[in-house]
Structure 1
Amino acid sequence: MSDSTLNCGNGGGANTYTSLRIASVFIILVGSSFGALFPVLSRRTSWLRVPKGVFDFAKYFGSGVIIATSFIHLLSPALDELGSPCLSPAWQEYTQTFHQPYALALAMLSLFSIFIVELIAFRWGTAKLAALGINHDAHGHGLGSHAAHGPEGVSPVAVDGDSGSEKTEKTDDIEALHKHGIADDSALAQIIGVFILEFGVLLHSLLIGLTLAVDPDFKVLFVVIVFHQMFEGLGLGSRLAFMNLPARYNYVPIIAGMLYGITTPLGIAVGLGIRNTYNPNSTTASIVSGVLDSLSAGILLYTGMVELLAHEFLFNKDMINAPNGKVAYAVCCMLFGWGIMALLGRWA
């Protein structure tokens, strides 16, 4: 790229389609909020009740969406952003010496950080439960697909097919959890797990909102992002809908869905306000967005592969004993979500 076409400074935001860009704030707000909140609300209200099969499809579809987001919509752009010619030679040195871009190193740092934090929390929770003499299944093998893993693996939700003695044992465990305040710890662990997932999604949503506000190719990007945010919201919302929380924490999934819904519109609004000075290709913007995309990619990679795929397909009793047709259907739903988001990556 020649010096005449390389713009690494401020400015450069497009001023075209101003009215449509403003309208996009509200259009994407509706689409994103619908995707994230509909699964949550439909499980809580009778008039929005949908068949269980629809929830199952959304859950597996969402897993594919989240994994594709990490690779296609986060890690790939991060490689470009941290490999920008606008960056100083110091940013290129690591790539040239070790043939590894900074983006991959930052993604690995994020992934292993989440793993270490969860490992420590898991060991602490397991030890605390063992000290109270409470049975604990590390991966929820004895529970169905609703079970959370790790320290929150003892679930207060009854499982069909439990014998009387098993139900009594679980009831005793649950009473002990409430007596020692561990039920609150379990709820907190679930909330933290979901917000780790949402943190990576929110950073990505904010950045694409900023980009949409200033990108010259607005029309194509706008259409793609409407579907992108709705599908991504559906993936997040299907996970929020299956959280097992005490009644006093029932507001958490709704708040999480609302946060997702407003993040991209907020990014667009901010981008519109600074479009005359914000250049997404500038040195500062490339570093900031590249680092955030890399860290978010690591978070979603760990969450998608470990929290969603492994615990949904490998450590889930329902799936282990399920007919081959059900497993094949679940895998196809997951691949469909992955394929749709990978296709959208062609434009955004």
Structure 2
Amino acid sequence: MSSDSQCGNLDNPDTLTGLRVASVFIILLCGTSGALFPVLAKKSSWLHVPKMVFEFAKYFGSGVIIATAFIHLLSPGLDELSSVCLSPAWQEYPYALALCLLSIMSIFILELVAFRWGTARLQRLNMTHDPHGHHVGSHAAHGPESTPEVPSTKFADKESQSIHEPDDVDDAAAAAQIIGVAILEFGVLLHSVLIGLTLAVDEAFKVLFVVIIFHQTFEGLGLGSRLAFIKLPPRYNYVPIAAAFIYGISTPIGIAVGLGIRSTYNPGSTTASIVSGVLDSLSAGILIYTGLVELLAHEFLFNKETINSSNGKLAYALGTMLFGCGIMALLGKWA
């Protein structure tokens, strides 16, 4: 049977129903644990997780996010928007790449606007910013850094002699970081829901199930390691935890929806190919920009601690990042 004749057909297997239902809870546990562990470990005073573990998770996670963008999002987007089930007009232009480019430019413009707004706000408060983007106005996922210049703009604690910034600066920083989390998580969530839908109806369920367990755990670790290092006022401490839980339930929701509509949902149909292709391509752009600019550039090129570190420490960071990237790229062979 040709590929064209498959486009309108619905042939979702009605097998392994019990295991498919169990996969909702198994992947919920794995994905949530991967995303939540770095966040809770960072906040906890009794776990005493070594700094090296956090550094491993951070660099490993950066590699995972970049590989996810290219292998698990952009590549499927190209396949879906060039499907033979679509009209010939879809074959005349690389729409997946154009949508990815649109996404990258949109995030860049958003970052630029946030940079200008944040810089102006800091100047009004007599504070400086790092020209590489480490400032309160940035929505960088790794967290803002600000440098006080004028003591009169701070409130000193007489007992501890510690310096605290005004509430409005904290609010600006919190808003900037929450935007950063939302952008990073949005790209990951769309992909997670779509692979949940696919898992619910895929004929090769067993292989895909095992791969997605590792996929969601590693991706959760990558996201969680970024969430763990953002700096928010105490009243916003729930944000990283909530973001980790939202990630954890995304794929199970996709699986549950897929199981519910498996009698009518055709992942190879024209509509499904267009929707999946568009979402995958846009998500790829988000993660490409976030991974290359906010993670790699800020962690390696513009991070003074990394630049001034020993060759061994730098090699460890690069090796860990490449290891995460390689493992996630390898998983793309099956999912």
TM-score normalised by structure 1 residue count: 0.89
The amino acid across from 2:119 in the alignment is T
- The aligned runs of 1:205-244 (5 Å cut-off) are 205-244=192-231
Does the Cα contact within 8 Å between 1:12 and 1:277 map onto a contact in 2? no
Name stretches of at least 5 consecutive residues in structure 1 with no aligned partner.
95-100, 142-146, 157-165
Mapped partners of 2:58, 2:246: distance in 1: 20
Within 5 A, what are the aligned runs for 1:1-348? 2=2, 6-9=5-8, 11-94=10-93, 101-139=94-132, 150=138, 155=145, 169=149, 175=155, 178-179=165-166, 181-348=168-335
1:105–1:14 distance in 2 versus 1, CA, 3 Å: same
* Equivalent-residue separation in structure 2 for 1:133 and 1:151 (angstroms): 20
Please state whether the residue corresponding to 1:138 is helix, strand or coil.
coil
Closer, same or farther: CA 45–18 of 1 in aligned 2, 3 Å: same
User: How big is each residue's C-alpha offset from its partner over 1:198-220, in whole Å with a ceiling of 9 and x where there is no partner?
Assistant: 00000000000000000000000
Residues 306-346 of structure 1, C-alpha deviations (whole Å, 9 max, x = no match): 00000000011101111111111100000000000011000
Deviation at 1:182, TM superposition (A): 2.4
Structure 1 CA distance for aligned equivalents of residues 152 and 62 of structure 2? 34
Q: Which amino acid aligns with 1:139?
A: H
Q: How far did 1:133 drift?
A: 2.0
Q: Structure 1 90/127 Cα, relative in aligned 2: closer, same or farther at 3 Å?
A: same
C-alpha distance 295-21 of structure 1, shift in aligned 2 (>3 A): same
5+ unaligned residues in a row in structure 2: which ranges? 156-162
RMSD: 2.1
Counterpart Cα distance in 1 of 2:172 and 2:181: 14
> Percent of pairs identical after alignment?
70
Residue 10 of structure 1 contacts residue 278 of structure 1 at CA under 8 Å; is this kept in 2? no
What is the distance in 2 between the residues matched to 1:174 and 1:216?
A: 62
Q: Flag the 1:113–1:17 CA change in 2: closer, same or farther, 3 A.
A: same
Task: Give, as a single letter, the amino acid of the residue that structure 1 aligns with 2:122.
Answer: L
How far apart, in 1, do the equivalents of 2:333 and 2:247 lie?
23
In the alignment, which residue of structure 2 is the partner of 1:144? none
- Distance in 2 of aligned mates of 1:148 and 1:308: 17
> Relative to 1, partners in 2 of residues 1:234 and 1:65: Cα closer, same or farther, differing over 3 Å?
same
Q: Residues 149 and 324 of structure 1: is their aligned pair in 2 closer, same or farther, counting only changes over 3 Å? A: farther
Between Structure 1 and Structure 2, how many residues are aligned?
A: 326
Amino acid at match of 1:131: R
CA distance in 2, matches of 1:344, 1:194: 25
Measured in 2, the distance between the counterparts of 1:249 and 1:45 equals: 16
Relative to structure 1, the CA distance from residue 181 to residue 252 in structure 2 (aligned partners, 3 Å threshold; closer, same or farther) is same
Q: For residues 10 and 181 of structure 1, what CA distance do their matches in structure 2 show?
A: 57
Contact 2:139 2:179 in 1 (8 A): no
- Residue of structure 1 in register with 2:158 after alignment: none
Counterpart CA distance in 2 for 1:148 and 1:267 is 35
| TM-score normalised over the length of structure 2 | 0.92
Q: For each residue in 1:92-135, what CA deviation from the matched residue of structure 2 results, as whole angstroms up to 9, or x when unmatched?
A: 122xxxxxx21000000000000001101101110121133212
Q: 1:304 to 1:197 in 2, by over 3 A?
A: same
Aligned amino acid, residue 249 of structure 1: Y
CA–CA distance in structure 2, aligned partners of residues 236 and 35 of structure 1 = 9
Provide the rounded CA distance (Å) in 2 between the counterparts of 1:312 and 1:126. 21
Deviation at 1:136, TM superposition (A): 1.7
